[in-house]
Amino acid sequence: MTVYFIGAGPGDPELITVKGQRLIRSCPVIIYAGSLVPEAVLQGHCATQVVNSAELHLEQIIDLIKAADALGQDVARVHSGDPSLYGAIGEQIRHLRELGIAYEVVPGVTATAACAALLGTELTLPDISQSLILTRYADKTAMPAGEELSSLAQHRATMAIHLGVNHLAKIVGELLPHYGADCPVAVIHRATWPDQDWVQGTLTDILAKVETKGFRRTALILVGRVLASDHFGESSLYRAAHAHLYRP
């Protein structure tokens, strides 16, 4: 018996991996995060038990897994995006290790990747930014020392901020001294879902634009010069004068 932590992707059912889809269709037990994973992702399943974990607490989820283990049934534990990023799988895995239950993590498309695709942009451009910081706004979960937005912003790298749209005014205030008032920002609501929407602006005007849209949750904030710059160098990979193993 194995518990498969499956990344369902950002919302579009076609963005789940082939492996993830295969496991969902073959596992007799499915536990999925129904608040963020559309039921269409489960299409074609033949499970005898399908449970929405949005209605459960951790101990109840573990009890379901223990019951499946007793019957020798594999479990598809379906999370949104990539389960290793804000998926709360660490605490589940800790229990599985204690119980001696096998598990495997199946990666998925992240919200950040989906948002970059929607905007048609590359998040790492030569001369502009070669780093991407994935982080969140400190609300119910405190940030470890040194990971506050004001500290991370000192790098001026491309930044993807999760779970922060309700605190956008505070976020802008922390980013402004480091990125500058004219730094491009995008706020993307429910990327790849049928009702997806987004706005683009700068740290000066993004707050007003988001308030007009009325975004309150399930939105990602992207910050960085890569969002609006054509003044960057070409990568060495495709430069005619650059030789490498496949192009001597």
pLDDT of residue 22: 97
Considering the chain, what percentage of its residues have pLDDT values greater than 90?
86
pLDDT of amino acid 233: 74
| Per-residue pLDDT at 139 | 75
What per-residue confidence (pLDDT) applies to 245? 62
Taking the domain 111-228, which CATH number applies? Answer: 3.30.950.10
What is the overall mean pLDDT for the chain?
93
Cβ 135 vs Cβ 158: under 8 Å:
no
Is it the case that residue 215 has pLDDT exceeding 80? Answer: yes
Per-residue pLDDT tens digits for 98-151: 999 999 999 999 999 999 999 999 999 999 999 999 999 887 778 888 999 999
**Within a 10 A sphere around the Cβ of 177, how many other Cβ atoms?**
11
Position 235 scores a pLDDT of: 75
Would you state the pLDDT for residue 247?
Answer: 65
Q: Is the pLDDT of residue 240 over 70?
A: no
User: 2-106 in CATH: which number?
Assistant: 3.40.1010.10
Q: pLDDT at residue 83 above 80? A: yes
| Per-residue confidence band for 189, with pLDDT thresholds at 50, 70 and 90 | very high
Residue 234: pLDDT above 90? no
Which tokens hold the place of 147?
């990971």
Predicted model pTM: 0.90
- Tell me how far apart the terminal alpha carbons of the chain are, to the nearest angstrom: 49
- Return the number of other C-beta atoms located less than 10 Å from residue 104's C-beta: 12
Pick left, alpha or beta for residue 194 (phi over 0 → left; psi -120 to 50 → alpha; otherwise beta): alpha
Q: What residue segments make up the domains of the chain, in order of their start?
A: 2-106, 111-228
Q: Roughly what angle, to the nearest 10 degrees, separates helices 58-70 and 89-99? A: 40
pLDDT at position 187 over 80: yes
In this prediction, residues 166-193 reach a mean pLDDT of 96
Q: How many residues does the chain have?
A: 248
